[in-house]
Amino acid sequence: SPVDMQIAGEKAHQEWQRALGVKELHGAELRLEGMAKIAIGLRDFLASHSCAFVISKVEKAYHAGTTLAWVLFDSDFNMAVSPRHDHTPLFKRMLSLAILDFLREKDLKAFWVAYQQRDLHSFTTILETLQFRILDVDGDARMKELLLDALAWAARYPGEILRKAADRFDSPNILALGLLLNGINEQLPELSRIVKFVHDEQRQFGSSIMTQYEKGKNVTHMGEHPFFPFRLVRVKNFSCPIEFASSHTSIGLQIIDIVLWLVKRSEERPEIPLPDNCVRLLDYVSRKTRRADFTHRLLSEKTQRDYNAAMSQPLSPEVEARARLRRDQMEMDRLKRMGPPKKE
């Protein structure tokens, strides 16, 4: 928002409190019946101050699966993985999606426990289970080869792959913060600055959130090209430290709580109609929201789009011949790497 919610929202907040007979606004407590009483007023307030949103949804199971893929296909430590496959976004995403197809819910839970404790025995069991599943199905022969080679090497040298136990920076909460910061940096109008950033109080992740905020607040990534490595860019959009506040004392946090509850409710139970006033509020929020989600569906859709675009590019016979030679050389290099880990 271009204004301080605590100042600009004081009068409206008092009116909403009186209308509802509550001291604090929480979506889960107001539910649709209560929310409908203030929805139009809230919508008009948000519109009058040009409020915009960045909303992130992190699928916890998908987060666990991509973490497994991330450590498994890290070519710095897994000698069966080509650096080209690791560092080329489209290839890395294709490998990740392929391994996610073979993971079950119990595997994801077991992996996360093993990751938290750096339990190499349990980690190896998961890797061996995945090998059996992949061997047991028909599919793209090349993809099976790459997956099985990576899994076999990791199962033989699990300590090289699972080099540390998970810490608080691996939490979905920290990932969500990074997505939000990046979304704000991408949406922020040119020459604008963030002069106040308030986060709800955190007992468990407070220090980690503060550290991640300082690391990520003025960093964004360039538009990802499917065949070029991921690149970060420094920006100067945030000029403030993070502040932690209780929702009891923060009007802005209470408004966010209502908006998030309504968005979540509409997405999780779309078959149940919303009150008209809530629909109008949700319509404003939807038009003014940038999504920064971390979901399996988005990864699959983006990968398919990039793959289709790549396959539609015409290649001359000369370019195709050079590409085949380079591919063969890359595979020779990969096979040469697949010995024991290098001693440091």
Quote the pLDDT of residue 223: 55
pLDDT in tens, 209-250: 999 999 999 988 755 555 555 677 888 999 999 999 999 999
pLDDT in tens, 78-116: 999 999 999 998 999 999 999 999 999 999 999 999 999
Quote the pLDDT of residue 342: 77
pLDDT in tens, 136-149: 998 899 999 999 99
Q: Residue 204's pLDDT band (boundaries 50, 70, 90)? A: confident
Quote the pLDDT of residue 160: 95
pLDDT in tens, 269-317: 999 999 999 999 999 999 999 999 999 999 999 999 999 998 998 989 9
Pick left, alpha or beta for residue 50 (phi over 0 → left; psi -120 to 50 → alpha; otherwise beta).
left
Average pLDDT (40-51) is: 96
pLDDT in tens, 151-170: 999 999 999 999 999 988 89
Quote the pLDDT of residue 176: 93
Average pLDDT (244-263) is: 95
DSSP assignment letter at 237:
-
pLDDT at 186 over 90: no
pLDDT at 73 over 60: yes
Token pair of 279 as six digits: 């629909």
Quote the pLDDT of residue 205: 82
Quote the pLDDT of residue 233: 84
- DSSP states of 32-55 as a string? HHHHHHHHHHHHHHHHHTT--EEE
> pTM (2 decimals)?
0.87
Listed residue (3, 16, 50, 93) closest to 254, CA to CA: 16
Instruction: Evaluate whether 165 touches 118 at the Cβ level (below 8 Å).
Output: yes
Quote the pLDDT of residue 80: 97
pLDDT at 175 over 70: yes
Q: Is 242 helix (H, G, I), strand (E, B) or coil?
A: strand
Token pair of 17 as six digits: 């409190």
Residue in this structure with the two tokens 């704000």, named with its chain if needed: 184
Q: Between residues 190 and 331, which one has the greater pLDDT?
A: 331
Quote the pLDDT of residue 188: 85
